Structure 1
Amino acid sequence: MINKKMVTFIVALILATPITAFAHVKWFAKVPAEKIPIEEILSPFFLTFALIVAIVLAVLSQVMDHLLRIPWADKLDKYLNNLRKYSRYILKYGTALAFIIQLLSSSMFAPEFVITEMWQTIVMAGIIVALLIPHHFATKIGAALMLGLFISLWNEYGWFYMLDYGFYVAIIFVLLIGSTKIEGWGFPFLYLGTGLSLCWVAVEKWVYPGMTIDIVANHGVPTFGFDPVTFIIMAAFVEFIVGYLLVVGILNRILGLVVTVIFILTTMLFGATEIVGHAMIHIVLIIFIIEGVSFYHPPIKMHRTKLDQMIFVFLNFIFVLATFLLVYYRFA
């Protein structure tokens, strides 16, 4: 019975997750960013919802094994394990594909970074060619070019703005250390970088809710019966939770599948811009689905007893949430 209930829960989660949680609001909002007072962000609903989420995550950390105890899970797990040897190739050639899509749309890394100079086109082409060459030295050259291009945008837009795309730093790191003694550090860093990026982008929706409200109104996004303000708070929590769970190492394969489905749904609403902006994320999620936590020692495993693990997840989530919110608000 528990397996059926858990499966039903996962299906409901996929269907009910607010799809604007993963739409990058800067790409679609037509209104200027206006920061609201911190008192409005820390509303009674926000605080209550945060506590409920922390409790649910604490319990989830102990029942996650039951989520995988379904008849076909073991076979699927073995099949995915056999695909792990292809993970680095998927990242390498998937990154090349993502950059091809970006170059065809005259953008770099994200739709908002438009190519304006010939040297940028040349560098983008160089990255693609280097990554398509089946040799690790060529991969490192491509990664170095990516790093240089990313730094140029960092200098132009500032570190705070570019933190939205911090996962690219993790991708570059994985590609650079391939075929070296520290190659094993790559994918854990990719989990960390992607998770933290999702958490960071989620906070934007709390600090600048007006942009998300504009998207909900102009793109006909369903709010499932909630008023827009409440809906946005919950939508941002969904994104923050996914990022947090990737960092702490809980349900990585299921999360990868859930987020992939959600990104497909957002593409139906937002079209080509969504494809260009999230192509790279799709590649990363495919790797998460294949890898699970095979190489990653989750922080939760530092604690042995179930009670200690639950307390850790509860307190750690509150701490991480408060830290991200206060840091973002301070520099926004």
Structure 2
Amino acid sequence: MSIVSNIWVRSPVVLATATSVLLLGTQAASAHVKWFCAFDVAGQPRGLEQVLCAEFEWLTGLAILCLMVGCLAEGTPFGTALLNALDRVTLRLRDDTSLIVRAVVGFFLISVWNLGGIILTPELKTDASWISWLQLAMAGCLIWKRTLPLTALGIVFLFGFAVWHYGAFHLADYPVFLGVAAYLALTGLDRTLFGYRPIDVVRATAAITLMWASVEKWAYPQWTDPLLAAKPSMTMGASAETFMRAAGVIEFTLAFALIWTPLVRRASAIILAAVFISAIVEFGKVDAVGHSGIIAVLIGIAADDARVPATRRDTVLAPVYYLGALTAFLGVYYVAHNLLYGDLYSAATALSAVPVI
């Protein structure tokens, strides 16, 4: 049996093992907590000196090591063979990515139209009845390629409408909607965005969405307490604090991987899609509707066969960019929150007291 065949036989086992571990460890945290539990965006988040503890640093170090191992594997015959195998398996998905995204976005829009009183996600409520009919019209525009930009325009409008009513900080959870809008518009017009393909644009917004959500897990771990109390087995014996800390690190790492090298980002997309799909089993229809769009995007990322050969430079720079992204998201989250809801001086004081990772 050839090397490629050996790898192809083993790769599903490797992916299944990695996925099962992550499913056990992050399933509860994958359900968007704002859809199921009480929350207060304006409430005081946990201090950075509490977030960046020794346990957090160990988890981050382990995540960086895994990322570097993935980068190293990508530049080997093993990595090349695995990419080739992924290309073969996902051929049909790749050819139909646009159709999948259109169908899933249509399902999402019809679902929120049927539920009524929802702007974009379950916690974004509205009394404006015309919003539902706009959503139905947007779903209809997905049938024809030439009208995709109209659906995109509608998504941008609804996003702006939600910002007007709920604030920019709350909607910072959902930039993936703008990415989906860009994907539909660029696909309908057969254009790129300054050379970036539609899938590249939506991939970046998906990564931003999930990295921001992971910071929220560290800042407000108590929001998830009701879910963990209802399903205590999901923590696998760990404390709620440790579980949420680890779930945030895993989510941040997988999200960061979406903007890294081809094999790393495709493996990350597969794992994230599996985690989101498994969460639907636990949390039902609301989770299915709310996460349908990002699942479709992740399938498209997993099927994307664009390649830029990985180099040792990618491995060396991975920790630098990862820590840079981590610092940037933590900094922006805490500074923006204090600008909008609290005392900026206290945020600056907390930042200065944080140990260097």
Range of TM-score over shorter length: 0.7 to 0.9
1:246 matched to 2:258? The reply is: yes
> For residue 188 of structure 1, what is the aligned residue in structure 2?
200
> For residue 109 of structure 1, what is the aligned residue in structure 2?
120
Q: Residue 34 and residue 210 in structure 1: after superposition, are their counterparts in 2 closer, same or farther (change >3 A)?
A: farther
Q: Which ranges in structure 1 are unaligned for 5 or more consecutive residues?
A: none
Q: Is the 8 A contact 1:31 1:214 kept in 2?
A: no
Distance 2:123 2:249 in 1: 24
* Amino acid across the alignment from 1:19: Q
Q: Is the 8 A contact 2:186 2:198 kept in 1?
A: yes
Shift of 1:322: 1.3
> For residue 12 of structure 1, what is the aligned residue in structure 2?
17
- Give 2:158's match in structure 1, choosing from 149, 156, 168: 149
Structure 2 residue matching 1:111: 3-state secondary structure: coil
Residue-by-residue CA offset, 1:6-46 (whole Å, 9 max, x unaligned): 65543332112121332211112236455111111011111
Structure 1 residue matching 2:123: 3-state secondary structure: strand
Q: Residue 155 and residue 96 in structure 1: after superposition, are their counterparts in 2 closer, same or farther (change >3 A)?
A: same
* More displaced stretch, 18-27 vs 316-325: 18-27
Residue-by-residue CA offset, 1:293-315 (whole Å, 9 max, x unaligned): x1x659xx5xx4x1x32220011
- Give 1:22's match in structure 2, choosing from 30, 41, 53: 30
Q: Which ranges in structure 2 are unaligned for 5 or more consecutive residues?
A: 338-357
Structure 2 residue matching 1:273: 3-state secondary structure: helix
| Cα RMSD after superposing both structures | 2.5
Residue-by-residue CA offset, 1:74-131 (whole Å, 9 max, x unaligned): 4552252354332222222321111112222222321112242122122111111111
Shift of 1:257: 2.3
* Amino acid across the alignment from 2:221: P
Distance 2:164 2:38 in 1: 25
- Give 2:130's match in structure 1, choosing from 98, 119, 143: 119
Q: Residue 44 and residue 88 in structure 1: after superposition, are their counterparts in 2 closer, same or farther (change >3 A)?
A: same
1:37 matched to 2:37? The reply is: no
Distance 1:193 1:237 in 2: 18
* Amino acid across the alignment from 2:99: Y
> For residue 285 of structure 2, what is the aligned residue in structure 1?
272
> For residue 285 of structure 1, what is the aligned residue in structure 2?
298
Distance 2:171 2:303 in 1: 28
- Give 1:174's match in structure 2, choosing from 183, 203, 209: 183
Q: Residue 16 and residue 79 in structure 1: after superposition, are their counterparts in 2 closer, same or farther (change >3 A)?
A: closer
**TM-score computed with the length of structure 1 as normaliser:** 0.87
Distance 1:203 1:48 in 2: 17
**TM-score computed with the length of structure 2 as normaliser:** 0.82
* More displaced stretch, 317-326 vs 29-38: 29-38
* More displaced stretch, 93-102 vs 215-224: 215-224
Q: Residue 94 and residue 31 in structure 1: after superposition, are their counterparts in 2 closer, same or farther (change >3 A)?
A: closer
Distance 1:58 1:104 in 2: 46
